[in-house]
Amino acid sequence: MTLRSLSAALALVVIATGPALADQLADMTARGTLRCGVLSVANPFGFQDPDTREIVGYDVDFCRAVAGEMGLDAEIVPVAVEARIPELQLGNIDILAAALGYTAERAEQIDYSDRYFVSRQVVIVAGDSTVASLADLDGLRIATNSGSSNIDYLRNQVPGAEVLTYQDTAAAFLAFAQGRVDGVAISELGTMQLRQQGAIEFRIVQDPLRIEPWGLGVRKGEASLVAAVNQAMEAMESSGQVETIFNTWFGPETPFHLTRGFTVGPITQ
C-alpha cells in the first residue's frame, strides 16, 4: 500500500468513526434525556433527602435546569467522587454536575462547561495550633477526600506535608477530631457546616489553597454538547435562574447566608 492510499484509508476510518465518537448531543436529543452524574453524599451539592430518599442539592437543581433549557428531561445518576471522570468517559452519564473543580490535569481528560460555581479551598487546623500559613504545614499530616483536587493542590503548594486521603469529608474530619491527622483540606463552605455541628474547635489557615471554579464535565470531543450546555447556562444567567438556584441552597434564608460572587462565564478566566 502506498503512502497516499494509506492516508486515504485512514481518512475514511476517521470519517466513519468520528460521528460515533462525537455525536452525544444527537443521542441525547433522540432519547429525550440528559443523564446527570451527581454526588449523593455532598450536602448541599448532592445528597439524599432523608424524607423523600431522592437525591437533591445545588448541583442537582442546576443540572435539571440545564436539561430544561435544552428541552430534555433530567435523569439523575449518583456517582462516587473517585468514579466521576471514569463514569463520564465510559458513557454511563452525559454530563457531570458533581462538585468538579477545574484543574489542568482534569482538562486533559474531559472538557468543561463555563463555570457555574466558585469554591475557596482551605486547610483547617486545631484551634490551638501554631500554624500560621501554608508553609507551616511542612511535615504535618493533612487529610482530604479521595479524588479531590485538593490532593494536587497540597502536593504542589506544601510538598513537605504528608497527604492522607479518606472516602469522604466526614471520614477525614473524624481522623482530624481523633488526632490522627493535623489538618484537613476542605472547601470554605464545608467549614461552615462543620462549625454548625460544633464537634471540635478549629481554625482556618489564612492562605487559601486555591480559589477554584467549578464546571460541568463533558466527554472529550463533544464540542456541540459543550456549546449547547454553555448556551443553556447563559440563558439561565440572563433569566435569573442561576441566582434563584444559588439562593435556594446558599442564600440569606439558608444557614450559609452567602451572596453569589460569580456569574456564569469562561471557566479559565
Half-sphere exposure of 62 (CA within 13 A, CB side): 34
At 201 the pLDDT is 86
Distance (Å) of CA 47 to CA 170, 186, 206: 13, 17, 29
Query: Which domains does the chain show, CATH number per domain?
Result: 3-118+213-250 (3.40.190.10), 120-211 (3.40.190.10)
pLDDT range class, residue 11, cuts 50, 70, 90: very low
pLDDT range class, residue 237, cuts 50, 70, 90: very high
- The H or E element containing residue 225 is helix 223-239
**Residue 94 one-letter amino acid:** D
If you average pLDDT over residues 73-90, what whole number do you get? 96
Whether residue 13 is predicted with pLDDT greater than 70 in this model: the reply is no
If you average pLDDT over residues 31-59, what whole number do you get? 96
**DSSP strand E in 49-204: where?**
55-56, 73-78, 95-96, 110-126, 141-145, 162-166, 183-187, 202-204
If you average pLDDT over residues 174-181, what whole number do you get? 95
Question: pTM, whole model, 2 decimals?
Answer: 0.80
Q: Could you read off the pLDDT of 138-153 as tens digits, one per residue?
A: 999 999 998 888 999 9
* Other C-beta atoms lying within 10 Å of the C-beta of residue 44: 18
Whether residue 107 is predicted with pLDDT greater than 60 in this model: the reply is yes
At 12 the pLDDT is 38
Whether residue 262 is predicted with pLDDT greater than 60 in this model: the reply is yes
At 3 the pLDDT is 34
Angle (nearest 5°) at CA 41 between 39 and 47: 75
Radius of gyration of the chain (CA): 21
pLDDT range class, residue 200, cuts 50, 70, 90: confident
- The H or E element containing residue 210 is strand 210-219
Give whichever of 64-78, 116-130, 162-176 has the largest mean pLDDT: 64-78
